[in-house]
Amino acid sequence: MQLIWVLVGVVVTAGAAIAQQICPIPPLPVGPLNPGAPGAGSLKGIPVPLPQALDTIIKNRQMATVLGKAFFWDQQAGSDGNACASCHFHAGADNRTRNQLNPGFRAVPEDTTFKPTKTGGGGPNYLLKAADYPFHVLSNPLDRDSAILFNSTDITSSQGTFGGNFIEFLGQGHEECTLDTPSIFSVNGKLTRKVEPRNAPTTINAIFQLRSFWDGRANNHFNGVNPFGRRDPNARILVRQADGSIMPEVLDLENAALASQAVGPPLSTLESSCANRTFNHIARKLLSQIPKPLFGQKVELDDSVLGPYADNGTGGTGLKAGVTYASLIQAAFHDKYWLAPGYASPAGYTMMEQNFAMFWGLAIMMYESTLVSDQSKFDGFVGTVTTTNIGTNFVVDTQTPPDMSALTQQQVIGMSIFMGKGRCVACHKGPDFTGAGFNLQFTRTANQESVIERMFMGNQQLAIYDNGFYNIGVTPTNRDLGVGADDPFGHPLSFARLLKQSLAGAIIPDSFVVNPCMLEANPCVPIGSPLARDAVDGAFKTPGLRNVELTGPYMHDGSMSTLEQVVEFYNRGGNRRGPVASDTTGFDHSPEWGNNPSNLDVDIQPLGLTAQEQASLVAFMKSLTDERVRCEKAPFDHPSLSNTNGHSNL
């Protein structure tokens, strides 16, 4: 079969290259109408970043959003009742308390031993208590070098699937899987649901992030198959040609990290799937093996997206008769991706079933692009600029004046601390309050930043790193490498490491531009050596802070349960022991890529905040809550969800 390459978005040569510009680009001045400035501006009116080539695949964006919301909330998608929403149902995150511990599968080497909690419990099906947090307790909370009273390296995360191996469909959306025994996720010989190795981040405002997942492995370029974009050389979709033939093509859809993210969990044997289940299986199940979309889940008639398609019969659940996943795909996507009369793969799958991962990823991305929380008290305080397109090439900006009464005096003081003494804005910047989002692009323009940055570390040595990803010393680096790990194809997840490999002459999968004159440290000095020090091991994507009071537990390991604990952590300079210049956090790599003695971000050092200042900082962060999120009002309304919170029969 002939292979046709179609690069959608940005065309690059095989073996992507990295360019280093030599001329600086003048930044925009910081001001009220420049929401890209660190710490400034409302999220309201900021355009949602979607792929420029999106409409070459999707023919009806609204119908794609309908499809995506149904996919996201449908518990029939998982092997044993887990939907995407099962781990992202509470302000886009997960606040369940029973059976939520993982011993540390991401540690190097892998850790499979549960540790006791602070109150003496722990392990599978344990009911977490407020007194179990934080997981790192010091005799003096202000001194990171004081005696350690308690420490656990377990992870608070989300319960997923029971596991086992997929065998067959049993009808009515049920699957038969083997029992996955023995398993560390069991109590008295009875299996519990497995738990993921990282805390589930919120899906709200995730559309603004350049890469997704804590380690950034969900690529900005969507290949229609899995999270890894161009890194997978074999990823293909099927496209019907003008002559009616069906050909495999490469999909390279830029600025679609949420689509890349969405296709990961459905096949994860910790999250949603029995082993050996494929997207073809999921397609066959949802297209022909279930009674109807969202069967058994109540969809309200006033649902902001699904309401017109809800079953309004007495006691009805799911979507109404005639609304199937096949009909929604047909309404949302161009025909050439699903219409192929008589086509069947060697395994007997239709074209729609073969391309199901692409439909799944893009539809969920479209739904999640509506989950923007831009109506917080902070947004009212700073005022907004809304761009309205009222005709071709005719745009009107309407400004909402700042409401100086929107924040309390304590919150205003907290905002000042956030921008200054607390150093929070160094990482949590821009209207989405994350350095991994709005300001970050592959090519830096006037108010955008490069994916690679250079800074002085705590020991005053220079290092390059992935912008928006930081090691803040929550746990020792060998507990989880974060963006310092590799993808399944052997490539570093880190752009900084890819740059070093490129400088050594290697062909790398991702392409981006580095402008040395825009680097924070030693501007206009090119990054010239493949042995340049990097600071990526143990670094994680900076989460956004909007609605943060609702999204606990906190950190990539879920080791803190309150914002007060988080602020206390930062105030003492994190959990890494030793002076600022000490080397106790780094995880050394092989010498050919240079020695990496310490990866701790330089801003993680004692802050000297008083108790009153800490309280003001927490109060400010609570001003970032959008009440529509708290109250689950549109666009944050949703179908009913029968979620599992541990097991009662063990």
Ordered DSSP codes for 234-259: T--EEEE-TTS-EEEEE--BSS-HHH
Query: What pLDDT sits at residue 586?
Result: 54
Q: Which domain holds residue 320?
A: 54-93+164-172+178-194+200-368
Query: What pLDDT sits at residue 514?
Result: 85
Query: What pLDDT sits at residue 396?
Result: 52
- Whether 334 is in a domain gets the answer yes
Query: What pLDDT sits at residue 447?
Result: 52
- Whether 222 is in a domain gets the answer yes
Whether the bond into 134 is cis, omega within 30 of 0: yes
Alpha-carbon dihedral angle through residues 250, 256, 259, 264, given to the nearest 10 degrees: 80
Structural domain count, the chain? 1
Q: Give the type of residue at 410.
A: Q
Query: What pLDDT sits at residue 346?
Result: 96
Query: What pLDDT sits at residue 37?
Result: 38
Coil, helix or strand at residue 364:
helix
- Name the H helices within 492-556: 495-503
Query: What pLDDT sits at residue 597?
Result: 54
- Whether 629 is in a domain gets the answer no
Coil, helix or strand at residue 513:
strand
Q: With 0-12 CB in 10 A as exposed, 13-18 as middle and 19+ as buried, what is 347?
A: exposed
- Whether 241 is in a domain gets the answer yes
- Whether 118 is in a domain gets the answer no
Report the chain (650 residues): mean pLDDT per 10 consecutive residues. Answer: 32 38 37 39 90 98 99 97 97 98 96 97 98 98 95 98 92 86 89 97 97 98 98 98 97 97 98 96 97 97 98 90 98 98 96 99 99 96 70 57 93 96 94 86 60 85 93 92 96 96 94 85 90 91 98 98 99 88 54 56 93 98 98 98 92
Q: Which of 26, 101, 71 is nearest to 283 (CA)?
A: 71
How far apart are the C-alpha atoms of 257 and 214, rounded to whole Å? Answer: 12
pLDDT tens digit string along 601-641?
A: 889 999 999 999 999 999 999 999 999 999 999 999 999 99
- Whether 289 is in a domain gets the answer yes
Q: What angle do CA 76, 200, 259 make, to 5 degrees?
A: 65
Query: What pLDDT sits at residue 518?
Result: 83
pTM: 0.92
- Whether 212 is in a domain gets the answer yes
Is 215 within 8 Å of 485 (Cβ atoms)?
yes
- Whether 481 is in a domain gets the answer no
